[in-house]
Structure 1
Amino acid sequence: MSDTMDSTAQTLTGERADLLESLRKHRQFLTFTARDLDEEQAGRRTTASELCVGGLIKHVTSVERGWAEFIVKGTSAMPDFTSFTEKDFARRADEFRMLPGDTVAGILAEYAKVAGRTDEIVATLPDLDVSHPLPKAPWFQADTSWSARRVLLHIIAETAQHAGHADIIREALDGAKTMG
């Protein structure tokens, strides 16, 4: 990712440094899967799923952006998933695809920008215990709140999970491996 993120992580200690280091490691695994790919390759599905390397990076970018804003602004930063329309779900599905005009460089640059913002939040948030009620969604337990710490753990888990997906897709594409 960027030098700014690495230098932010180096100036912190303790829990915040650990969270940022874990994010950095999993982001690196994810972005490494896109190395040397052109747009067609980054958009190619190589398994039975709809997933592609470029789409996974776009999705993780969107997820991280949303959750980082949730840490700062609370529920107002997130959509009410219970009122999603077909158009909303279609737009969400586009996060998992390389669309016309998408470039590998552009997707990676946007991810670095979002990651930098998240790292800034981790470094400057006065208290990792600050919490907000979760947005309405069928997959969240009602009347539950998450702390900034819990949200960051969720971002780490989401990034790690999708880095593994991207690694499988990349290996099926051309035999290249990220994690092995």
Structure 2
Amino acid sequence: MAQASTEIPGDERGTLLAFVEAQRAALRASVLGLSEEQAASRPSASELSLSGLLKHAAEVELNWLRLAQQQPNERQRTEADWGEAFHLTDGESIPAVLAFWDGVSKELEAFVLALPSLDEAFPLPPAPWFPQDAKVSMRWLLLHLVEEYARHAGHADIVRESIDGTKAMG
């Protein structure tokens, strides 16, 4: 399984980016050695597959990046196609999803490193789960990605162990 960097950054920005990357790495590692069919399988009680989790994580990161940049999301999901965010569709593959996610990750890191401060804020979109007219900082965004990816890395651990017995921590 892949391991996160052994370099420990001393500043807040570097530390947060390292924690985001560690959780990304855990998700990416969940598909190592599996076929596309195995990674698309749903062997547990969950509807989630490993390849679907990778796609979802990549699209979530792009969405948050575009919100922070206050730019339109070129892959914005609608209610009608929301379910497609959790499985690969025709023409999609794990290498393609990972390459897309790598590009988004590099763009997010460059964006964060160029900010004058992690206190830079952007508005949250209208949603029943967000306070109306709320803004969040880039610090909040990075912590949210850690939370999101850690949750899904746990899902991925269970799905992977159900596929072939591989344990992330054992």
Question: How high is the TM-score relative to the length of structure 2?
Answer: 0.88
1:20-62 Cα deviation digits (max 9, x unpaired): 1101111111100010111111110112221100000100101
Kept after mapping to 2: 8 A contact 1:78/1:135: no
Distance 1:131 1:98 in 2: 33
Kept after mapping to 1: 8 A contact 2:44/2:159: yes
The size of the alignment, in residue pairs, is 165
Q: Indicate whether 1:40 and 2:37 are aligned.
A: yes
Pick from 161, 168, 178 the counterpart of residue 151 of structure 2.
161
Shift of 1:98: 2.1
Where does residue 23 of structure 1 map in the other structure?
A: 20
Q: Secondary structure at the match of 2:145?
A: helix
Shift of 1:114: 1.0
Pairing 1:72-83 to 2, within 5 Å after superposition: 72-73=69-70, 77=72
Pairing 1:1-12 to 2, within 5 Å after superposition: none
Distance 1:121 1:160 in 2: 22
- Greater relative CO (CA pairs within 8 A, separation 6+): 1
Distance 2:10 2:65 in 1: 20
Q: Secondary structure at the match of 1:88?
A: coil
Shift of 1:173: 0.7
Distance 2:59 2:41 in 1: 20
Kept after mapping to 2: 8 A contact 1:167/1:177: yes
Where does residue 106 of structure 1 map in the other structure?
A: 96
Question: How high is the TM-score relative to the length of structure 1?
Answer: 0.83
Q: Indicate whether 1:69 and 2:69 are aligned.
A: no
Where does residue 97 of structure 1 map in the other structure?
A: 87
Q: Indicate whether 1:128 and 2:125 are aligned.
A: no
- What residue ranges of structure 1 are gaps of 5+ in the alignment? 1-5, 82-86
Distance 2:29 2:124 in 1: 32
Q: Indicate whether 1:55 and 2:49 are aligned.
A: no
Distance 1:100 1:177 in 2: 30
Pairing 1:137-176 to 2, within 5 Å after superposition: 137-176=127-166
Distance 2:129 2:82 in 1: 16
% identical aligned pairs: 39
Distance 1:105 1:176 in 2: 21
1:109-132 Cα deviation digits (max 9, x unpaired): 111111111111121112211112
Shift of 1:143: 2.4
Distance 1:137 1:13 in 2: 36
Kept after mapping to 2: 8 A contact 1:131/1:146: yes
